[in-house]
Amino acid sequence: MYFDDEKEITNENKEDSLNETSDTKEANDSEVEAKDSDIEPAKKHKGHSHVDNEPKVEDSHSRILEYLKNEHKWENYVLLALSLMALILGCLIINGTLEVSEEFPLIGNFPKVFAWVLIGLAALAILLSLWPFFKPAFPELKKVSWSKPRAFAADVARVFIFLIILVFVLLLFDAFISRLIKFILQLND
């Protein structure tokens, strides 16, 4: 008896859920019909009720700025500033502009070694701080269709020939202008 009552309850629940789904299905069908009636006949495609593919407007957010705002707000900027200061400090020690006293513990005996280690660590820190800026570029490089080696060599040769011609023209202009200036200066004397 108990199980029969439970089956009746579950059957009633199933019927209620079926009625609800049929009601929502009818509501969805009526919404689709309302949308179809709103579409102009010129925009209907071969008897279908969908609109032609229109270009979607995408947000023009910079992925780099979004990444920096979400992941690394200020750490990269601080690391970059500190690494630049360390790089300058190391260069000043190697240059001799900044002298380290021999009494300074651990560094005083080998200031040049310390300076080179400092420069190396600064260079590594600069690379680490700039990595988030360049990280999104690598997947884009995979999408590039690179030219074949023969076409690449031909393009490189064209660029070098153009540069040689440009240098020659600029040297001629320089020679002409320098002679013109010398001639003008001799007239004033």
* Domain range summary for the chain, segments of one domain joined by +: 74-142, 148-174
Residue 40 confidence (pLDDT): 46
Ranking 15-19, 132-136, 150-154, 185-189 by mean pLDDT, the lowest is: 15-19
- Average pLDDT for residues 32-42, to the nearest whole number? 48
Q: What is the token pair recorded at 184?
A: 């003008």
Residues 148 and 1: their CA atoms lie apart, in Å, by 83
Residues 28 and 37: their CA atoms lie apart, in Å, by 14
pLDDT tier for residue 36 given thresholds of 50, 70 and 90: very low
The pLDDT tens digits of the residues spanning 119-132 come to 999 999 998 888 87
Res 164 pLDDT > 50:
yes
Question: Dihedral through CA 161, CA 164, CA 169, CA 170, nearest 10?
Answer: 140
pTM for the model: 0.40
